[in-house]
């Protein structure tokens, strides 16, 4: 019964056919999965071999025998990459920028009395680098414990007051991965729709379909459904590979990224339909699609932050659909942003969806 | 259910493209089970007429009724019961012949045995091939097979033998005769007069958007002769095509 429905429902069978066609297209697979993987891999390998030491900043407000002993003991361990010549403010800045894993603050009067306050150090740690900061805290606590033992008074143990902060721990590949995902979605949506549709049109396949009682909506649903599924699959594959193979930090919720992929996919698929509605042949569709895609690739902050751009260019680049998609994906992936916090990017994508959808409908022709 | 007398009924049909009157007030009827030919030079309006009947084009005025359905009012209902072979057909890339036929059938909410259809047009050995891998004649045959997925009562064949070699053409003729024997009505267009003579019960000759003559082929020839027409002729009992077929055989070739 269900199988029969599967075989004889036009929309379902067209969708299955369009999936088969898509996944049998080696060129599409190459552009959609392979090339982005290569991009991520190349940059992943460039980042390779960075066995990290734990970066520790030290602020010694006490500047007494006890604090100097503590610092000396910590330094002797050779585990940390230590910086102790910056001001507290500068150190906190460094921490927020992800340049430090922890900042150790030794308050005035440290170790001079037995009161709990004077037997405590503050450690502000970078939440995003869970492993490094946890290891760092354990080691500092270990050093403090040794001092406690040496003093022979175990009742008042030296302790740590840990304060977590959210830092941006950007490796280049962390920054790059969401951008490449966004770019891959754009390429897939725009090119796969524009090309295949113009091809179907110019070869007369659409006309042959028109000779059947098919509803145009069934056909378009099949095409769109296929592409949106691919955009989700793409995101899943690329993000998983980046996390598993290149240790990319995924702070945010993958589900939110998939939702964004769906929305972004929608924008670029309807852009593809607009191009294919307008272009009669593949020879026209190709340069038009390229003229749309290439500038976005370089202006939308896929490979480098848009901050680096001159102001007038940036003012334009900020409004590109790929910018919205790349930013939203990046904020979620890197900062663990919620979907709600990305409302501006989501709104931007929705406006683009509305505009491109409207243009696609106006330009769309079967013949 | 009441069976309409004519499966196709056309009354004063008109369609213009700008100044060009592609179809200029034609009327005709086709009865059930008939093979009806529309002949005419290029640009005579054959294809436009056929496309209006198929529900693929909207006429400017006039009536076109297929199996009791007004084509202008419900083109989809007409498309459900007819099979259309376009002049140049194309199908999805990257799907096998069987897969294409299965999809085509589903568009009519049907399930078919694609291999049976392919066997009918002698393509069962190419079942897993792609459309683009077929030769010209095979493509044409597949295109005909694709029009049968909904078991149509009426078939439209637009120049079905153009570009085919004599063997493939004969095979196509056999197919048309089989459709007729199965009780299907066939409307075909052609440039080839011997094809019309061979296949058609009646023909309409079109020129400049009008039907200039319509009758059984033999009757048209008789009326020409009765007007005193005489062709310079030697009594040929065979022609060059007969020679060609004698030398190369009648079996289908897969170029």
* pLDDT tens profile A101-127: 889 988 888 888 777 778 888 899 888
Answer whether residue B7 shows pLDDT above 70. Answer: yes
Q: What is the pLDDT of residue B246?
A: 77
For A358, residues 6+ apart whose C-beta sits below 8 A from its C-beta are none
Query: CA end-to-end span of chain A, whole Å?
Result: 36
On chain A, the residues whose CB falls within 8 A of the CB of B67 are: none
Q: What is the 3-state secondary structure (H, E, C) of A194-207?
A: HHHHHHHHHCCHHH
Q: Classify A60 as helix, strand or coil.
A: strand
Output the furthest CA–CA distance in chain B (Å, rounded).
58
Distance separating alpha carbons of residues B201 and B184, to the nearest angstrom: 13
Q: Which of A134, A175, A181 is nearest to A335 (CA)?
A: A175
Task: Report which of residues B20 and B243 the model is more confident about.
Answer: B20
For residue B89, give the nearest of A4, A12, A204 by CB distance.
A204
Min distance A280 CA to chain B CA atoms (Å): 16
Here the contacts of A90-97 (C-beta below 8 Å, separation 24 or greater) are A91/A57, A91/A59, A92/A124, A94/A57, A95/A57, A95/A124, A95/A126, A95/A165, A95/A167, A96/A165, A96/A166, A96/A167, A96/A168, A97/A167, A97/A168
Given this model, what pLDDT does residue B236 score? 67
Pairing assessment for the beta strands B6-17 and B61-66 based on DSSP bridges = antiparallel
> What would the pLDDT profile of B94-103 be if each residue is shown by its tens digit?
999 999 999 9
How far B89 CA sits from the closest chain A CA (Å)? Answer: 6
Instruction: Specify the pLDDT at position B89.
Output: 77
Collect all residues of chain B within an 8 Å Cβ-Cβ radius of residue A210: 56
Secondary structure string (H, E, C) spanning B150-205:
CCCCEEEEECCCCCCCHHHHHHHHHHHHHHHHCCCEEEEEECCHHHHHHHCCEEEE
Which candidate, B154, B206, B211, B108, places its Cα nearest to that of B4? B154
Distance of alpha carbon B25 from alpha carbon B10, whole angstroms? 10
Q: What percent of chain A has pLDDT over 70?
A: 95
Nearest CA in chain B to A218: B107
- Rounded CA gap, A347 and A263, in Å? 10
pLDDT of residue A169: 59
- Is B90–A8 a contact, with Cβ atoms under 8 angstroms apart? no
Q: How confident is the model at residue A48 (pLDDT cuts 50, 70, 90)?
A: very low
Full-prediction pTM beyond 0.90? no
Average pLDDT over residues A192-219: 88
Q: Are B55 and B84 in contact (CB under 8 A)?
A: no
Structure tokens at B95: 């799907």
Q: Assign A9 a pLDDT band (cuts: 50, 70, 90).
A: confident
Structure tokens at A357: 């959808």
Q: d(Cα B69, Cα B72) in Å, to the nearest integer?
A: 9
Does B33 score more than 70 pLDDT?
yes
In this prediction, residue A80 carries a pLDDT of 85
Q: What residues of A are in the B interface, CB distance below 8 Å? A: 4, 7-10, 12-14, 17, 20-21, 24-25, 199-200, 203-205, 207-214
A:B CB pairs within 8 Å: 71
List of chain B residues whose C-beta atoms are within 8 Å of the C-beta of residue A212: 79, 104, 107-108, 150
| C-alpha to C-alpha distance for A138 and A79, rounded to whole angstroms | 12
Please name the member of B89, B99, B146 whose beta carbon is closest to the beta carbon of A17. B99
**How does the average pLDDT of chain A come out, rounded?**
86
Average pLDDT along chain B: 89
Alpha-helical (H) ranges within chain B are 46-53, 75-81, 97-106, 114-120, 136-146, 166-181, 193-199, 217-226, 240-248
What local confidence, expressed as pLDDT, does residue A47 receive? 56
Contact flag B103-A9 (C-beta cutoff 8 Å): no
pLDDT above 90 covers what percent of chain A? 31
Contacts 24+ apart (CB under 8 A), A77-80: A77/A139, A77/A143, A79/A53, A79/A54, A79/A135, A79/A136, A79/A139, A80/A53, A80/A54, A80/A55, A80/A56, A80/A136, A80/A139
Note whether B94 contacts A7, CB cutoff 8 Å. Answer: no
The answer, yes or no, to whether residue B228 has pLDDT greater than 90, is no
Q: Which of B85, B215, B99, B66 is nearest to B144 (CA)?
A: B85
Distance from CA of A31 to the nearest CA of B (A): 18
pLDDT in tens, A67-76: 888 888 888 8
At residue A323 the predicted structure's pLDDT band, cuts being 50, 70 and 90, is very high
* Interchain pair A211, B110: CB under 8 A: no
pLDDT at B254: 62
* Among the partner residues A20, A211, A214, nearest to B95 by beta-carbon distance: A20
Q: Is B24 exposed, middle or buried (0-12, 13-18, 19+ CB in 10 A)?
A: middle
> pLDDT of B36-88, one tens digit each?
999 988 888 999 999 999 999 999 999 999 999 999 999 999 999 999 998 87
pLDDT of residue B234: 62
B73 touching A, CB under 8 A? no
Write the pLDDT tens digit of every residue in B117-131. Answer: 999 888 999 999 999
Given a contact cutoff of 8 angstroms between Cβ atoms, the answer to whether B156 and B85 are in contact is: yes
Report how far residue B83's alpha carbon sits from residue B149's, in angstroms, rounded to the nearest whole number. Answer: 8
Is B2 a residue whose pLDDT tops 50?
no
Confidence of residue A325 (pLDDT cuts 50, 70, 90): very high
Is the pLDDT at A167 greater than 80, yes or no?
no
B76 in contact with chain A, both atoms CB, cutoff 8 A: yes
Answer whether residue B16 shows pLDDT above 90: yes
- Rounded to an integer, the average pLDDT of A183-199 is 90
The distance of Cα B133 from the centroid of its chain, to the nearest Å, equals: 24
Is residue A234 over pLDDT 50?
A: yes
pLDDT at position A92 over 90: no
Q: Give the list of residues 6+ apart from residue A141 with CB closer than 8 angstroms, or none.
A: A159, A160
Q: Quote the DSSP letter at residue A357.
A: H
**CA angle at residue A277 from A274 to A278, to 5 degrees?**
90
Query: What is the ipTM, given to two decimal places?
Result: 0.86
CA distance A233 to A188: 11
B107/A210 touch (CB, cutoff 8 Å), yes or no: no
Report helix, strand or coil for B29: strand
Instruction: Give the pLDDT of residue B1.
Output: 42
In chain B, which residues have their Cβ closer than 8 Å to the Cβ of A8? Answer: 105-106, 109-111
Give A49's pLDDT tier (boundaries 50, 70, 90).
very low
Are the beta carbons of B30 and B6 closer than 8 angstroms?
Answer: yes
C-alpha angle A96/A99/A102, rounded to 5°?
A: 75
- The CA-based diameter of chain A, rounded to the nearest angstrom, is 94
pLDDT at A13 over 80: yes
Q: Which of B77, B90, B103 faces A203 most closely, judged by CB atoms?
A: B90
Helices A35-46 and A172-187, interaxial angle, to 10°? Answer: 170
A28, A213, A219: best to mutate for the B interface, most B CBs within 10 A? A213
In angstroms, the CA A306 to CA B9 distance is 67
pLDDT at A131 over 90: no
pLDDT score, position B77: 95
pLDDT given at position A51: 44
- Six token digits for residue A320: 């590109």
What percent of chain B is modeled with pLDDT above 90? 61
């Amino acid at each position: 019964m269900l199988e029969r429905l599967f075989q004889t429902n036009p929309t379902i069978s067209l969708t299955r056919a369009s999936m088969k066609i898509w996944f049998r297209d080696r060129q599409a697979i190459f552009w959609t999965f392979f090339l982005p993987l290569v991009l991520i891999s190349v940059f992943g390998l460039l980042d390779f071999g960075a066995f990290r030491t734990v970066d520790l900043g030290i602020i010694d407000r006490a500047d007494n025998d006890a604090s100097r002993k503590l610092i000396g003991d910590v330094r002797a361990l050779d585990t940390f990459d230590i910086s102790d010549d910056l001001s507290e403010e500068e150190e906190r800045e460094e921490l927020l920028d992800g340049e430090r894993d922890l900042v150790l603050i030794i308050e005035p009067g440290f170790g001079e009395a037995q009161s709990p306050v004077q037997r405590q150090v503050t450690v502000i740690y970078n939440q995003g680098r869970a492993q490094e900061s946890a290891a760092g805290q354990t080691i500092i606590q270990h050093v403090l414990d040794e001092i406690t033992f040496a003093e022979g008074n175990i009742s008042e143990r030296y302790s740590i007051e840990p304060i977590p902060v959210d830092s941006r721990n950007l490796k280049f590949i962390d920054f790059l991965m969401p951008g490449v995902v966004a770019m891959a979605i754009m390429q897939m949506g725009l090119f796969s729709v524009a090309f295949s549709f113009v091809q179907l049109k110019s070869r007369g396949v659409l006309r042959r379909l028109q000779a059947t009682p098919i509803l145009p909506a069934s056909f378009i649903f099949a095409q769109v459904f296929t592409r949106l599924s691919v955009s989700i699959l793409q995101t899943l594959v690329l993000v998983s590979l980046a996390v598993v193979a290149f240790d990319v930090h995924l702070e945010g919720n993958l589900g939110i990224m998939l939702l964004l992929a769906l929305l972004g996919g929608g924008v670029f698929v309807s852009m593809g339909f607009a191009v294919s509605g307008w272009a009669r042949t593949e020879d026209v569709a190709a340069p038009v699609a390229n003229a749309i895609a290439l500038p976005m690739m370089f202006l939308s902050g896929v490979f480098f932050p848009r901050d680096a751009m001159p102001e007038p260019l940036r003012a334009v680049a900020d409004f590109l659909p790929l910018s919205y998609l790349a930013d939203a994906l990046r904020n979620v992936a890197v900062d663990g942003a919620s979907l709600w916090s990305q409302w501006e990017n989501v709104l931007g994508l929705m406006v683009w969806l509305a505009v491109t959808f409207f243009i696609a409908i106006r330009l769309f022709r079967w013949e | 259910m009441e069976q309409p007398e004519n499966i196709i009924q056309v009354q004063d049909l008109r369609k213009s493209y700008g100044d060009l009157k592609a179809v200029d007030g034609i009327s005709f009827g086709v009865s059930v089970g008939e093979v009806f030919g529309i002949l005419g030079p290029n640009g005579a309006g054959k294809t436009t007429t056929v496309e209006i009947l198929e529900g693929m084009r909207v006429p400017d005025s006039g009536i076109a009724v297929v199996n009791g359905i007004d084509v202008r009012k419900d083109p989809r209902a007409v498309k459900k019961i007819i099979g259309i072979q376009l002049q140049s057909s194309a199908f999805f890339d990257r799907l096998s012949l069987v897969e294409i036929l299965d999809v085509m059938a589903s568009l009519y909410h049907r399930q078919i045995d694609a291999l049976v259809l392919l066997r009918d047009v002698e393509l069962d050995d190419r079942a897993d091939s792609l459309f683009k891998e077929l030769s010209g004649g095979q493509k044409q045959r597949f295109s005909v097979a694709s029009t049968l997925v909904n078991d149509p009562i009426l078939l439209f064949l637009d120049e079905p033998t153009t570009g085919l070699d004599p063997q493939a053409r004969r095979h196509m003729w056999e197919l048309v005769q089989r459709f007729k024997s199965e009780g299907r009505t066939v409307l075909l267009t052609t440039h080839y007069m011997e094809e019309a003579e061979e296949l058609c019960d009646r023909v309409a000759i079109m020129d400049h958007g009008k039907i200039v003559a319509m009758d059984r082929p033999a009757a048209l020839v008789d009326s020409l002769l009765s007007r005193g027409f005489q062709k310079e002729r030697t009594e040929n009992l065979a022609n060059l095509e007969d020679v060609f077929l004698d030398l190369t055989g009648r079996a289908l070739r897969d170029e």
